[in-house]
């Protein structure tokens, strides 16, 4: 029984064997909680100043637009420069922006444009920081430990989604939103110390010069790599077609009584499912056929959200949203493991930046789709059609990208060939990082 429990629970071996990863994980977890507190505080402050939901919606645009514009440039810089130094610069700059958030809160300003401006600046810096930061774990951990390391990072992320806004609400009630901003800036110190202790992190072998040519080469590489392209398309299929959060207020009003507390539970349910999935992720991390697991998780996400459109009981809605969150968290870990295992280090920053843009843009497009369909029909129709179309799209990805479907299969060495720089039916790609 003890052995089976150890195999079921999240694998913490990366935290035990690698001090650098342990520091990165702790620093990243604290910084993620701080960032969630700031996100909560910005939304609250904008609403307190304006009383307008539309004004709150502009915060999303201020976050999305810089991410989409600068995201690919961040990957180009990460493959050309020392990634450690780049993250130290961007992380320090984001800490300064958090202090500026605090400064405007202390002044008691009644203007929202500083909040939009600082949100845009924070998003721009994060779009450069994230692709470079994501290259650290594959360099620190062996390929065998990489899935466990990514799982631990996803667990920390979902915990921050649960803890950050709640803690931000307590602090805002006690001393105002300025406390959220100040604490966020302090959490950057722990994260920066972890990065400072790393060795130099330049791309191995060939290093590209930053610019349009470098970005284009990265896009062509992703298009040639059938495993990576299929993994990213599976993510877009899930997020663009079935993202549910925009329809939850209307669904709550029509089906579940409209209570704000019920809406809060509906929004939190996917994160709860994500935490449970990552806490019990032992079988996923040790799985061989990760491509099959990835596609299965995407299909489960869609099926669960289709069920959301059919239920009129709030407890069923909470369960299916938790299942969807568990499937989403599992898919994110598997996609990260597959992508990072299938690319040479010289393309790691650019490929990661494309994955970052896909992950950032897809949910916003999905929420837009969900809201439009819900307005034209009903939120139930939006959830049902979105979930079913997601399942169909995942099936098409499985058919059109057999290399992804067979990734890790003992009977098919496509994944091994890709990791070694050989694509089945594609041109050869040199390897920079063999872990």
Distance, in Å, from the CA atom of 264 to the CA atom of 86, rounded to the nearest integer, reads 38
Task: Please give the structure tokens belonging to residue 182.
Answer: 């100040």
Distance set, CA 387 to CA 241, 270, 373, 393 (Å): 7, 15, 13, 10
Q: For each successive 10 residues of the chain (435 residues), what is the average pLDDT?
A: 52 87 93 88 82 67 79 76 90 94 89 91 89 85 82 82 79 86 93 92 66 73 83 89 80 78 75 79 62 90 92 89 90 81 73 77 79 83 92 93 78 42 32 28
Burial of 105 (0-12, 13-18, 19+ CB in 10 A): buried
> Rounded to an integer, what distance in angstroms lies between the CA atom of residue 151 and that of residue 334?
9
Question: CB–CB of 123/62 below 8 Å?
Answer: yes
The pLDDT assigned to 101 comes to 95
Crossing angle of the two packed helices 248-255 and 314-341, in degrees rounded to 10 = 160
- Copy the structure tokens of residue 161: 């989604």
Two structure tokens written together for 392 = 């169909």
Q: What is the pLDDT of residue 422?
A: 36
Among 224, 227, 147, CA closest to 405? 227
Q: Hey, how many other C-beta atoms are within 10 angstroms of the C-beta on 47?
A: 15
Closest CA to 337 of 146, 156, 139: 146
Classified as helix, coil or strand, 379 is helix
Residue 291: burial class (beta carbons within 10 Å; 0-12, 13-18, 19+): buried
Q: How many CB atoms lie within 10 A of CB 180?
A: 32
Say whether pTM exceeds 0.75: no
- φ, ψ of residue 143 in degrees (nearest 5): -60, -30
């Amino acid at each position: 029984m003890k052995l089976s429990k150890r195999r079921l629970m999240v694998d913490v071996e990366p935290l035990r064997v690698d001090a650098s990863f342990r520091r990165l994980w702790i620093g990243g977890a604290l910084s993620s909680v701080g960032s969630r507190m700031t996100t909560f505080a910005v939304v609250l402050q904008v609403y307190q100043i304006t009383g307008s939901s539309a004004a709150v919606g502009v915060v999303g645009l201020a976050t999305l637009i810089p991410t989409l514009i600068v995201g690919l440039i961040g990957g180009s810089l990460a493959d050309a420069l020392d990634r450690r130094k780049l993250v130290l610069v961007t992380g320090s700059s984001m800490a300064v922006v958090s202090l500026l958030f605090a400064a405007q809160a202390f002044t008691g300003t009644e203007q929202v444009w500083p909040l939009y401006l600082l949100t845009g600046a924070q998003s721009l810096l994060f779009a450069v920081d994230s692709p470079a930061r994501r290259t650290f774990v594959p360099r620190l951990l062996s390929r065998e430990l990489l899935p466990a390391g990514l799982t631990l990072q996803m667990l920390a992320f979902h915990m921050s989604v649960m803890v950050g806004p709640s803690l931000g609400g307590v602090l805002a009630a006690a001393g105002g939103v300025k406390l959220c901003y100040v604490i966020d800036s302090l959490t950057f110190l722990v994260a920066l110390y972890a990065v400072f202790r790393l060795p130099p992190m330049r791309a191995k072998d060939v290093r590209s010069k930053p610019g349009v040519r470098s970005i284009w080469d990265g896009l062509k590489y992703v298009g040639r790599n059938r495993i990576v392209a299929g993994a990213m398309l599976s993510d877009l299929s899930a997020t663009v077609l079935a993202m549910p959060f925009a329809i939850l207020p209307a669904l709550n009003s029509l089906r579940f009584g409209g209570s704000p507390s019920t809406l809060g539970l509906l929004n939190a349910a996917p994160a709860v499912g994500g935490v449970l999935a990552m806490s019990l992720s032992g079988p996923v991390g040790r799985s061989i056929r990760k491509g099959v697991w990835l596609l299965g998780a995407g299909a489960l996400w869609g099926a669960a959200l289709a069920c959301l459109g059919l239920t009129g009981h709030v407890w069923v809605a909470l369960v299916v949203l938790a299942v969807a969150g568990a499937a989403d968290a599992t898919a994110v870990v598997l996609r990260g493991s597959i992508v990072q295992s299938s690319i040479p280090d010289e393309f790691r920053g650019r490929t990661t930046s494309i994955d970052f843009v896909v992950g950032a843009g897809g949910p916003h497009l999905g929420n837009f789709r969900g809201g439009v369909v819900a307005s034209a029909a009903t939120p139930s129709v939006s959830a049902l059609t979105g979930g079913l179309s997601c399942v169909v799209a995942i099936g098409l990805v499985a058919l059109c990208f057999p290399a992804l479907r067979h990734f890790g299969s003992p009977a098919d060495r496509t994944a091994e060939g890709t990791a070694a720089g050989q694509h089945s039916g594609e041109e050869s790609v040199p390897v920079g990082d063999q872990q």
